Amino acid sequence: MPLPRFFKFMSHDMAIDLGTANTVVYVRGRGIVLNEPSVVAVETINGQKRVKAVGDDAKLMMGKTPGSIEAIRPLRDGVIADIDVAEQMIKHFIQKVHGPRRFARWPEIVICVPSGSTKVERRAIRDAASNAGASQVFLIEEPMAAAIGADMPVTEPIGSMVVDIGGGTTEVAVLSLRGLAYTTSVRVGGDKMDEAIVSYVRRNHNLLIGEATAERIKQEVGCAKPPVDGIGAVIHIKGRDLVNGVPKEIQINQGQVAEALSEPVATIVEGVRVALENTAPELAADIVDQGIVLTGGGALLQGLDEVLRDETGLPVTVAEDPLTCVALGTGRALEDPMFRGVLQNG
């Protein structure tokens, strides 16, 4: 028997985009209320672990912590790698949003999961949310959430394709009538792009840079195809010289970054090509008209839409707000009965 609306309001039912890089929380009736890094700083004293910071505060500590404190990303490739730390992180975010309302029941929670995640991985996510205080946990597949958030016609008898490029995975899916007609999950995303940049700089410049520097390079001069002049914009970066061990500053240009990112970009393109090859003819005909929609933080990589357009010959567009599509879609699935059928419980 559904609880009265008063109790639903008090409970702060929420939708969570539990991402490898960031966690976004959407609250029923309020929209997105939290967007913080999926990072937990854990301090170990006399063998006992204690959470020191979560989210923004923990992200600032990455690469700069003393020996007793470790900054941990509890998710890897879109799924939980450290269930205890993930549980603490989810609990922190729930309490931060929910507040200290003594008489409110714990919330219903909808969490998105990669389409390629296993039953064990999904159980880990559900258990972490339940142990963190959820009264009931529903799951929604990430590409479905992204498509709903991008206002794609997922409830209609029309085939459409979404490519959601997150921190840990790229989800490629063909959708129709509230279902996934075809889906594949490629474990390449923003994190693999950062790793590729770190490797490139180390290999070609004998310079060791951290994750934060690689992310800044990607955001400021990252591109999926070389610029016309082969150089493009230039950025100055600092790191540790691997030859003499001292700090050093160099400059890197867009052409070099495009070269660094060529492998992860090619993997994403191949994932899209495989999905198209495995799509039923009737749905494929719809995709020719509808095109491909890009969502997720990786959709912001300059020139990626052009590369996919050139490789597939299909129209490719970037969603209006690609960073929040999954969270918005998960939130709409929580609020709108029309999408209740896409949720998984059990």
Q: Which residue has the tokens 């459409």?
A: 160
* Number of domains present in the structure of the chain: 3
CATH number for 211: 3.90.640.10
Residues 280 and 165 in one domain: yes
Comparing 130 with 302, the larger pLDDT belongs to: 302
State the pLDDT at residue 81: 87
Instruction: Read off the pLDDT band of 172 (50, 70, 90).
Output: very high
300 carries a ligand binding annotation:
yes
Give the residue numbers spanning the domain of 282: 160-188+263-322
How far is 270 from 146, CA to CA, in rounded Å?
20
Is this model's pTM higher than 0.85 or not?
yes
In a domain, 36, yes or no: yes
State the pLDDT at residue 87: 86
How many Cβ atoms are within 10 Å of 99's Cβ, its own excluded? 9
297 carries a ligand binding annotation:
yes
Instruction: Read off the pLDDT band of 7 (50, 70, 90).
Output: very low
Model confidence over 39-54: pLDDT tens digits? 999 988 887 888 899 9
Model confidence over 97-148: pLDDT tens digits? 877 655 456 789 999 988 878 898 889 889 888 888 888 999 999 999 999 9
How far is 38 from 87, CA to CA, in rounded Å?
12
41 carries a ligand binding annotation:
no
Instruction: Read off the pLDDT band of 10 (50, 70, 90).
Output: very low
Residues 175 and 202 in one domain: no
Tell me the mean pLDDT in the region 27-45.
Answer: 92
Token pair for residue 118? 């296993």
Q: Using the predicted structure, report yes or no on whether residue 4 has a pLDDT greater than 70.
A: no
CATH number for 303: 3.30.420.40
State the pLDDT at residue 104: 55
22 carries a ligand binding annotation:
yes
Comparing 235 with 124, the larger pLDDT belongs to: 235
299 carries a ligand binding annotation:
yes
53 carries a ligand binding annotation:
no
